[in-house]
Amino acid sequence: MGYRALADATMAVHFLFLAYVVTGGFLAWWRPWLRWPHLAAAGWGFATIVFGLTCPLTYVENWARLRAGEQGLSRGFIDTYLTGVVYPERYTLQLQILAALLVLTSWLIPLLKGRAPS
């Protein structure tokens, strides 16, 4: 039971992290101290896509699921829970581009308005 709860909690944190990667720059408009954690999160998200890195949260969830006697993740987090479930696989590239544009927009608008990150 404990490992299953850990796996489920890790999955929830992973979803929150993905949401933060995409929207955290907009949150930083409201709370400027969030800019630097968002920069780190967005950089990590970019690295996982470009360099094929596996997020530590995926490792933790997989480890906990296996310890709970469940089947581990056969693919990455996004491939398991989003691709083919929330959106068709053929739209993966378009959604990656959209996410990147949202992140860039969240950083560029304050810069263009003269409010550089502090």
On the question of pLDDT at 117 being above 60, the answer is no
Confidence (pLDDT) at 31:
92
What pLDDT, on a 0 to 100 scale, did the predictor assign at position 55? 92
What does the domain layout of the chain look like in residue ranges?
A: 2-112
Q: Are 41 and 17 in contact (CB under 8 A)?
A: yes
Residues 83-101: what's their mean pLDDT? 92
> Where does the pLDDT of residue 111 fall: very low under 50, low under 70, confident under 90, or very high at 90 and above?
confident
pLDDT at residue 12 in the model: 97
